[in-house]
């Protein structure tokens, strides 16, 4: 089933000049970029993104971190994209992330941990709407899709 999901290449990844390498991993896997932008996050956007954590003691730290420097918001599309992206990202705690995952290969601490990925279809829809206007998401065919996803794509 083709899905869309959100990935945020967080400020630490941008500062460490890893954004391109991280995004390339998703493209190399066969996922399609349907939205991409560099964002300097303000407090309002940060609070909307982290609304589910508003009452938690770490909320202010999350907001401070995500507003500290630009990030790259990426909308990806592909079969089972949500589950695939989450597997590629790795465990939230980098020390528990498997080698070969983004966090397992590139992160050391939980915050900062380089990347955010939507955790389910409802979350993906909500988060995509926070980060992208409908006109910023582009539908298109790629010539490689039949080679990546099979002849039925």
- Please pick, among 49, 53, 116, 135, the residue that the annotation labels catalytic: 116
Q: How far apart are CA 41 and CA 90, in angstroms?
A: 24
Distances in Å between the Cα of 41 and the Cα atoms of 1, 27, 37, 67, 74 are 32, 25, 12, 5, 14
Q: Is 116 marked active-site? A: yes
Tell me the CB-side half-sphere exposure of residue 105, using CA atoms within 13 A.
11
**For residue 45, what are the contacts with CB-CB under 8 A and spacing of at least 6?**
39, 130
Give the residue numbers annotated as catalytic, written as ranges.
116
């Amino acid at each position: 089933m083709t899905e869309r999901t959100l990935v945020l290449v967080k400020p630490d990844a941008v500062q460490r000049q890893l954004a391109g390498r991280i995004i390339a991993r998703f493209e190399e896997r066969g996922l399609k970029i349907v939205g991409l932008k560099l964002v300097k996050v303000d407090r309002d956007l940060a609070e909307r993104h982290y609304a589910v954590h508003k009452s938690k003691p770490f909320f202010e730290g999350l907001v401070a971190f995500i507003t500290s420097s630009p990030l790259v918001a990426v909308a990806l599309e592909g079969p089972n994209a949500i589950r695939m992206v989450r597997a590629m990202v790795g465990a939230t705690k980098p020390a528990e992330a498997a080698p070969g995952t983004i966090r397992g290969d590139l992160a050391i601490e939980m915050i900062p941990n380089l990347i955010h990925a939507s955790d389910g279809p409802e979350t993906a829809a909500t988060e995509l709407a926070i980060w992208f206007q409908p006109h910023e998401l582009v539908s298109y065919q790629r010539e490689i899709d039949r080679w990546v996803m099979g002849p039925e794509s």
